[in-house]
Amino acid sequence: MNDSWTERWNDRYSTDEFAYGEHPNNYLKEQLEKLNTGTILFPAEGEGRNAVFAAKLGWTVSAFDISIEGKNKALRLANANDVSIDYQVGELQTLNYTSEQFDAIALIYAHFPGNIKSLYHKTLSSYLRKGGLLIFEAFSKKHIEYNSKNEKIGGPKELDMLFSIDEIKADFPDYDIIELTEKEIELNEGLFHNGKGSVIRFVGQKK
């Protein structure tokens, strides 16, 4: 990822207000509340709303992002909620996660550039233990239509950064599918996710 990409996210996260709010994503909340706690990784975690929620439930939380401003906000939020999270800054290949380290991985609006997203998915999958759960929600390729009508819904405008059901099946082949669906939802998350959008939701258990 180039410097302009990092600058974009540092700029977004540099304000006092939380770009996507301080509350967890609804789908993530719904899934985590069903599970026993353990170790969990949050890639592209931004300002920490989901990681902090997991920590409050008792998970041992790791997170990363390319934005130092995101980390600063996340640690501030964790401190305000009296929890701790391990938050690293850098691209995935520079970090020190290990094979089968985590009981769960949560990819919540983790829109990586199109030329690396499948590689990132496969690398992240190697960090999940057998029997572990992957929880995923992100904008689908149909979301381009929603974004063109309402920019307040947010999301990438580059088609190759968006997702399809077939891509998820290809990137995560060694999973029992608990849920895999494309649907229209209403988002109300901070400043940048507001209105109707189209998402892919996936929960898979690693074989």
Q: pLDDT tens for residues 119-175?
A: 999 999 999 999 999 999 999 999 999 999 999 999 999 999 999 999 999 999 999
190: left (phi over 0), alpha (psi -120 to 50) or beta: left
Q: Are 95 and 43 in contact (CB under 8 A)?
A: no
Whole-number pLDDT of residue 154: 94
Domain that holds residue 122: 3-206
Share of the chain above pLDDT 70, in %: 99
3-state SS assignment for residue 94:
helix
Q: Is the pLDDT of residue 2 over 90?
A: no
Indicate the helix (H) or strand (E) that contains 205: strand 193-206
> What pLDDT does 4 receive?
85
What's 63's DSSP letter?
Answer: E
Helix (H, G, I), strand (E, B) or coil at 127: coil
What the block records as the tokens of 50 is: 């989901």
Query: Could you read off the pLDDT of 26-81 as tens digits, one per residue?
Result: 999 999 999 999 999 999 999 999 999 999 999 999 999 999 999 999 999 999 99
CATH number at residue 149: 3.40.50.150
C-alpha to C-alpha distance for 112 and 44, rounded to whole angstroms: 8
**Region 101-130 average pLDDT:** 97
Residue 5 confidence class, pLDDT cut points 50, 70, 90: confident
Supply angle C-alpha 198, 203, 205, rounded to 5.
160
C-alpha to C-alpha distance for 31 and 64, rounded to whole angstroms: 21
Q: Looking at the 3D structure of the chain, how many domains does it have?
A: 1
CA-to-CA separations, 52 to 22, 64, 163, in angstroms, rounded: 9, 13, 26
Q: Please determine, for residue 1, whether its predicted confidence score (pLDDT) is greater than 70.
A: no
Reading the block at residue 47, the tokens are 């300002």
d(CA 65, CA 50): 13
CA distances to 7, 84, 144, 187, 200 from 141, in Å: 25, 35, 6, 17, 9
3: confidence class by pLDDT, cuts 50, 70, 90 = confident
